[in-house]
Amino acid sequence: MPGLRSRAARRAYVEISSRLLGGLPNPSRYRLRQFATRAAAQGGSKDFRVLDAGAGKAPFRGLFDHVTYETADFGQVNKTYAQLDHVCDLTSIPVPDCSYDLVLCTQVMEHVPDPIAVLREFNRVLKPEGQAWLSAPFFYAEHEKPYDFHRFTQFAWKRMAAETGFRVQEITWLEGYYGTLAYQARIGAQSLPNRWFVWRVLLALLARHMTHAEMKKKVLVGMPKNYQVVLAKS
Ligand SMILES: C[S@@+](CC[C@H](N)C(=O)[O-])C[C@H]1O[C@@H](n2cnc3c(N)ncnc32)[C@H](O)[C@@H]1O
């Protein structure tokens, strides 16, 4: 009978922790979809023009069938992109002033070296009273390297909005603390060395529990993982 700390037992624990994490929903993507659904509801006809800025795979395209929807992205990361209408840097979008009613920009601002220049460009391409719907991480691992430059506090968002000609209409947490904790527990369960096998299983259990809790309820204690922000062109 192998002991609790034998190599085989450790491997079994690590296997258990990855099984516990398998097939879980991603609460951030769930909440982003809710956010994008609200953005889409701002428009009522094809006269309403939307730019998905930094669209990547354009995961929310299907929500915008009732309006005119375009994508922009620089297409530089080694990944698959959706068909892009504008291949450009977000500091220089090749459209005239006042082209769009709404700019959607989810999980992009952390990747641009100069977010102020990007917000100024959004302001330029938006019609008067047009809105920018944005989200970005506050607490998240580096990703899409080397294009990862910032994490934003709510105060950074307010300051950037004021500097670029926007009024803040909303700044809230994208997901609640259960989502933040689920994310951190998942990282521990996946990355602690194998000798921490018992903790890996416990963290996987915590990640599982917190993921389901986040899907049920957004609780604003602790700290956020992402902020969601709605700005209006002043
Ligand atoms: C994390 S992905 C988010 C994609 C999509 N908005 C979403 O929510 O799934 C970030 C995207 O920003 C794009 N991006 C990063 N820096 C950019 C820049 N300076 N100009 C244009 N696009 C940029 C990347 O190519 C990538 O598709």
Q: In the chain, what percentage of residues exceed pLDDT 90?
A: 92
What is d(CA 73, CA 178) in angstroms, rounded to the nearest whole number?
A: 32
Q: What integer is the mean pLDDT of 59-63?
A: 98
- Assess whether pLDDT exceeds 70 at residue 11: yes
Task: Report strand pairing: 100-106 vs 49-53.
Answer: parallel
Q: Which domains are seen in the chain, by residue range?
A: 24-176+223-233 (3.40.50.150)
What is d(CA 51, CA 102) in angstroms, rounded to the nearest whole number?
A: 6
Residue with CA nearest ligand 1 atom 18: 89
pLDDT at 177 (0 to 100):
98
Instruction: Report how far apart, in Å, the C-alpha atoms of 117 and of each of 129, 149, 161, 162, 198 are.
Output: 19, 14, 11, 13, 48
Q: What is the DSSP string of 185-210?
A: HHHHHHHS-GGGHHHHHHHHHHHHHH
pLDDT at 15 (0 to 100):
86
- Assess whether pLDDT exceeds 50 at residue 126: yes
Q: What integer is the mean pLDDT of 215-221?
A: 97
- The CA 147 to ligand 1 mean position distance, Å, reads 9
pLDDT tens for each residue of 74-124: 999 999 999 999 999 999 999 999 999 999 999 999 999 999 999 999 999
Q: What integer is the mean pLDDT of 145-170?
A: 98
- Assess whether pLDDT exceeds 50 at residue 1: no
Quick check: CB of 210 below 6 Å from ligand 1?
A: no
pLDDT at 3 (0 to 100):
64
Q: Residue 141: which of 106, 184, 98 has the closest Cα?
A: 184
Lowest mean per-residue pLDDT among 10-14, 40-44, 86-90, 209-213? 10-14
In what order do the strands lie in the sheet containing 68-73? 86-87, 68-73, 49-53, 100-106, 126-137, 226-233, 166-173
Residue with tokens 């933040």: 180
The pTM is what? 0.95
Q: Is 149 helix (H, G, I), strand (E, B) or coil?
A: coil
Q: What is the DSSP string of 72-118?
A: EE---SSS-----SEES-TTS-SS-TT-EEEEEEES-GGG-S-HHHH
Testing ligand 1's pocket by substitution, the residue of 108, 147, 151, 229 carrying the most ligand atoms inside 8 A of its CB is 108
- The CA 196 to ligand 1 mean position distance, Å, reads 36
pLDDT tier for residue 155 given thresholds of 50, 70 and 90: very high
Helix %, strand %, coil % for the chain, to 5? Answer: 40, 20, 40
Work out the number of other CB atoms within 10 angstroms of the CB of residue 60: 20
pLDDT tens for each residue of 196-212: 999 999 999 999 999 99
